Every structure is written in structure tokens, then in C-alpha cells.
Amino acid sequence: MNKLPNIATHFSDWYNDVIYRAELVDQTPVRGAVVIRPYGWAIWEEIKSLLDKRIKETGHKNASFPLLIPESFLKKEAEHVEGFAPELVVVTHAGGKELEEPLVIRPTSETMIHFMFARWIKSWRDLPLKINQWANVMRWELRPRPFLRTTEFFWQEGHTAHATKDEAHEEVLMMLQEYTNLAENYLAIPVVTGLKSESEKFPGAEKTYTFEALMPDGKALQMGTSHLLSQNFAKVFDMKYQDKDEKLSYPFLTSWGVTTRLIGAVVMTHGDEKGLVIPPKIAPIQVIVIPILKKGADNRMILEKAQNLAIELRKSGIRVEVDADESKTPGAKFYYWELRGVPMRIEIGPRDFEKGQVILIDRLGLSKEAISFEQLPQAVIDLAGIVQKKLFERALKKRDSQWFKSAKLSDFAKDLGTKGGFYQTGWCGKEVCEQELKKHKATTRCLLDKKSFETCFHCPEASKQDVLVARSY
């Protein structure tokens, strides 16, 4: 098999190659739609299971709302429909007839869910209402890229309603914190959090918080968002309820979501010249056991021991597989599992077997040690912790090396276009200056709670606060 494109010089080609070779995805004949293959889907299932647990532990309940939404629903909130209209996928015929009103495939479910909330929230006793759904959504894409931007994608969308704005705001920040925890402590991806500017926020929201990562090629990736919707949608959907003082009030709403894009972030952040590197905490296969077999020899003892070790490791909660294929060389297997980013490998050959040991190796090349059968489960758990920590540290170091402070766009415009990176700068807060960034194919990624610059990156006016600027996916 050909080598992967050079990750240092051809990052984009590397990404487009590795996701197919590692069998995360495949192309389909439908524009912007991909197949997520078993290995890719298994990574999503790990992420989903971790996040779902936290969503439930923080008091939310899963439910399921319709895929199709009447076109008129989207039009109820002016900014909302303006934001999504160009990307809508529209059903006009069903059951052999033309529909009286077209239905759109949900690009997001605020409108449908708020229609239902209006039926369910009648009294202050019905609040807070905290719902989540795991679903597929659709936004038509002219330049799709698997995981990063596809017409159909998978996500969770949380939707909550609260009696006070403070409580809604707390919810928005709590979920942002949950997302940060997922990104940093599980995906091993450092992120920066902050508010989106007025022009970059979610259509219809009062405030949008984002968490942003920087990919090794210097482009920012929006990892997910948490919106304070406040009362806009509540008023549009006539979501009146009787409050504690027996007056009619509107609740304060939030919504928040992350998507299968997180898989793309993991691929880009941790991958190397050999292929993927999946952080142990989300790896569908944390350890691959490779018996070193001799042609013509009786390999039964080795194969049986490999299977037994796997059973022992599973008892300790470790996700492990044995590659027992006798038609492949160990070298071919190393190559295959390294490409797929399995974070740890166990080798067991005839000599190891006699000595009652295996060789335990990690995907980053941090450690290669002989470990006795008895000590193996603990050694794997320890090594998983080391690899997980190292991945985050390495990504943080890389990210910090690409984070620059610069007072004026005229100074950093060139670097922005060549080496990329986060550019922390001052901003007057006006959209006219923000628009200047478009000329350099960049945007504001998020506002920072700092004020390190006297003036705006573009105009001579005073800076209101720091802003992070970057090109983005």
C-alpha cells in the first residue's frame, strides 16, 4: 500500500486519505452524505456514551422529535430562517402526492421542540424542562468534508426552558463546562471558550458560547456551541405559562449541541505519519494483542494464551481485540493497527510465552516493556493513563505554539494566511471592522474575558475586549 501523504507538508491530503484508509468513512453517490463505517461509528458510540451519561447526570432526559418540520415553523423566527434558508433540504412530495405545505428536514430542532414546549409548559411547576435528543440533521453542503462539514450529520441537541434568565444562563455555562471536560479530558483536545460575536452567533439566539480548538495546520475548529436563546423563540411560539405570582410569563430558553465533527477533531489533533492516534478513553479498541506466530510451528499455545489474556483484560474493563489472522505477518498487523490509531499493542511470541510475559508497547512510542501475565491488566491501565495525558500535553504545547498576540491586523494578516494560528488582538466590537477579516478569509472565533490591547485591530477606536481571530474549518 502507498504511504500516507506527508502530514507536515500536505495536511489536508493526509486527512482526506487517512479517514478512508483507516475505514472511518466511505463516499456515497449522494452529495455531502457519507457512510460512517463500523470503526468510525464505534468512536462516535464511545463519545456518545460518555456524553449521554453526563447529560443524564445533569438532569436532562432524552426524547425524540420529528425529522420533518413544516416550512412555516422555521419562518416564525426571522433571524432563524434567514440563517438556515440557504441550506434547507425540502420534501415536497409524499405518498404519491404533492404536499400542501413543504416540509423541511430539520437543520436543527428549535422550532419543532419549542412548538411542543408551548404545549407542555403551563405552570411554573413544569419548569425547568430539560430535554436532549440524539439525532441526524441536514444542512445542504456544496463543499462537503467528512466529519467536518457534511449534509447529513449526527449530533445531540439539548433544549431547556427556565423561569429566570439567570437560571438559563447557568444552564448554558454548565453545558459549556461539560463540553470542555469532554474535549480536554476525553478527546485530549485543548479548547478555548468564549462568546461569539453578534454576527457569528446562532440565528435567533441572544448569546452563543463556543469552544474552539486549533488544528495542527493552524485553522480553528468550532467544536460545539451553547446558546442562551432567552425569550425570542418563547414569544414566537406563544410559550406562556402561569408563574408563581399567577401572572403569565415566558420562559427563558437554551440550546446546545456537539456533532460527529468531534471525530474529525480527534483525527486532526492527534494523527501522525503512521495514521490515526485515538485517545485511550474513547478508543473502541484500546489494546490490540498480536501473537507472534511461526510458520509451520504449532502456534496453538500462543493463540490460546493471547485469547486468555484478552479475556483477563476485559474483566478489568479494557477494550481489547486479538488479531489472530495466521495469513498476515506481524509487521503487516503492526502497520494496520497503527494506521487505525489503536493506542496500545501487546506482542506475545514463543519466548515471551515461556518466560510468562508479553511486550507492551504504546502507539506514541513512549514505552516498550516486558510485562508478566499477572501484572498486565494494571500495566495496561497505567499506560493508558500515560498515553491519554501525553496526547493532551502534546496537543496543548502545539496549540500554544500557534497562539499569537498582535495589536494590528496589518501586522498579522500575512501570517494568518500562511502559517495560520490563533491571533489574540483588540477589537472595538463593531461589525465593520470584523468584516475586514473576511478579506483574509478569517473570522472572529470568540471573545476573550481580557483586555490586553488599547485599540481595535483595524480602526483607531478603543478596544472593548480581546478577541481571537483565525481562519477556520
Give the pairing type, strands 129-138 and 61-62: parallel
Q: Whole-number minimum distance, CB 116 to its own copies, in Å? A: 6
Q: Give me the amino acid identity at 75.
A: K
Question: CA torsion 17→20→26→29, rounded to 10°?
Answer: 20
**Closer residue to its own copies in complex, CB, 260/357:** 260
Q: Whole-number minimum distance, CB 66 to its own copies, in Å? A: 4
Q: Whole-number minimum distance, CB 55 to its own copies, in Å? A: 12
**Closer residue to its own copies in complex, CB, 63/311:** 63
For 293, phi then psi, to 5°, come to -100, 150
**Closer residue to its own copies in complex, CB, 36/342:** 36
Q: Whole-number minimum distance, CB 99 to its own copies, in Å? A: 9
Angle at 271 between CA 141 and CA 152, to 5 degrees: 20
Looking from the CA of 50 toward its CB, the CA atoms found within 13 Å total 18
- Dihedral sign (CA 171, 172, 174, 175): positive
**Closer residue to its own copies in complex, CB, 78/90:** 90
Q: Whole-number minimum distance, CB 159 to its own copies, in Å? A: 12
Query: How many residues in the chain?
Result: 473
> Cell 489494546, residue?
287
Q: Whole-number minimum distance, CB 417 to its own copies, in Å? A: 29
What does the block give as the cell for 159? 433544549
For 241, phi then psi, to 5°, come to -140, 160
Burial of 459: CB neighbours in 10 Å, binned 0-12, 13-18, 19+: middle
Contacts of 136 (CB under 8 A, 6+ apart): 67, 152, 153, 154
Where on the chain is the footprint of its own copies (CB under 8 A)?
A: 26, 28-30, 33-38, 40-42, 44-45, 61-70, 85-96, 102-103, 105, 112, 115-116, 119-120, 131, 135-136, 138, 140, 142, 151-152, 154
**By the 8 A CB rule, do 470 and 419 touch?**
no
Q: Whole-number minimum distance, CB 244 to its own copies, in Å? A: 13
Q: Whole-number minimum distance, CB 56 to its own copies, in Å? A: 10
**Closer residue to its own copies in complex, CB, 321/436:** 321
Q: Whole-number minimum distance, CB 108 to its own copies, in Å? A: 15
**Closer residue to its own copies in complex, CB, 328/430:** 328
Q: In terms of Cα–Cα distance, which of 203, 200, 199, 183 is closest to 191?
A: 183
**Closer residue to its own copies in complex, CB, 26/198:** 26
**Closer residue to its own copies in complex, CB, 84/211:** 84
For 186, phi then psi, to 5°, come to -120, -50
**Closer residue to its own copies in complex, CB, 144/275:** 144
> Cell 499493542, residue?
345
- Type and span of the H or E element at 36: strand 34-36
**Closer residue to its own copies in complex, CB, 35/301:** 35
Q: Whole-number minimum distance, CB 6 to its own copies, in Å? A: 27
E-assigned strand segments in 239-307: 241-242, 248-249, 252-259, 287-291
- The CB density around residue 361, as the number of other CB atoms within 10 Å, is 19
Q: How far is CA 75 from the centre of its chain?
A: 29
